[in-house]
Amino acid sequence: MADFASEIQFGGDVYSPISEPAPPMGSGDFNDNFKRTCYISRIRLVDSSNALFEPENISIQAITDKPSCYQVSYEGFTGEFERYAMLFGGPGGPACNAK
């Protein structure tokens, strides 16, 4: 990353018409539990020589614009999968529609 990028961003989105409640993201649940919450595991990045590497010792900031509706949590290295992972999801609902 030192030669090319200083930041990497990725994200998710849900959609519904304004007249309908915002849908759940993922399983609709968020409770820091890999059995009930959606997750991404085995996160790897690509370096300048096209080699894959795990995000060891890299600062990752998880941000959500509607934390009462949707959440995200970077878990780092997990014993659950023995890889780097993040959890995401949430119930959505009428209060979560874009305004």
| Number of domains forming the structure of the chain | 1
Separation of CA 54 from chain center = 16
Structural domain harbouring 85:
38-96
> b/e string for 43-65 if b means 16 or more Cβ within 10 A?
beeeeeeeeeeebeeeeeeeebe
Count of Cβ atoms closer than 10 Å to residue 37 Cβ: 19
Instruction: Kindly state whether residue 88 falls inside one of the protein's structural domains.
Output: yes
Burial of 22 (0-12, 13-18, 19+ CB in 10 A): buried
Instruction: Kindly state whether residue 23 falls inside one of the protein's structural domains.
Output: no
Give the Cα separation of 90 and 56 in Å (integer).
27
Reported pTM: 0.76
Encode pLDDT of 11-64 as tens digits. 888 888 888 899 999 889 887 788 888 888 888 888 888 899 888 877 788 888
